[in-house]
Amino acid sequence: MNTTLSICPHISATFDESTFALPRHEIRLRLLQESDLLSLEWHGGADLRSFYQDQWKKHRGESVLVVVADFNGFPVAQAAIHWLGKPTHPHIPDIQSVRVMDIFQGQGIGSRLLTQCEKVVRAENHPQVSLAVALENVGARRLYERLNYQITGTPYDDKWSYVDSKGHTVEVSELVTDMMKDL
């Protein structure tokens, strides 16, 4: 379809509208790289920079394994396996910081990310894996239940902190419930 544009009285141009297909792109699950740290700031911005740097240090130190979903070289999702668990069950690896960029949600990336984490935990001979979900995060809870995670225990106040971009410590508290899956 041709459209004649009248931008200015003395300029007349014809614009040809067209449609084209983008080449199919794939999501690749891979391990976190140091070059991903700034790119992960799509969640939380510069205020969470210290969180991602700390996560990188733990990943390099092997107490945490971070898996990312890569779209054209950009991490659009992540999940972190904490090998030493958490206080509620320190003997069971715990998947934390599961997040998928909003525009990529609902496409199975979270499911694939969790399945990959479970595969890694199973390969290390752990019979179970855990995670926690905020009570108000109904969508995440539905996903975890679809993947056969079961609620264990009662809700509790989970506390953590990070240093924001201005150097202030920010205390975070959220009501969560633990979920567990036999592998």
pLDDT in tens, 81-105: 999 999 989 999 999 999 999 999 9
What pLDDT is stored for residue 10 in this prediction? 61
Residue 17 confidence (pLDDT):
73
Give the pLDDT band (50/70/90) at residue 3: low
Cβ atoms 1, 13 nearer than 8 A? no
Count CB neighbours of 169 within 10 A: 9
**DSSP letters spanning 11-54:** EEEEEE----PPPP--EEEEE--GGGTTGGGGTTGGGGHHHHHH
**pLDDT at res. 45:** 87
* Res 20: pLDDT: 73
Using pLDDT thresholds of 50, 70 and 90, give the confidence band for residue 24: low
CB atoms within 10 A of CB 97: 17
Residue 21 has a pLDDT of 74
Dump pLDDT digits (tens) for 139-155: 999 999 999 999 998 99
- Lowest-pLDDT choice from 18-22, 78-82, 172-176: 18-22
In the chain, the domains with their CATH numbers are 26-182 (3.40.630.30)
* CA angle 124–130–136, rounded 5-degree value: 150
Q: Label residue 43 by pLDDT band (50, 70, 90).
A: confident
Beta strands 27-31 and 64-71 are antiparallel
Report CA torsion sign: 122, 113, 33, 171: negative
pLDDT score of 148:
98
pLDDT tens digits, one per residue of 107-124: 999 999 999 999 999 999
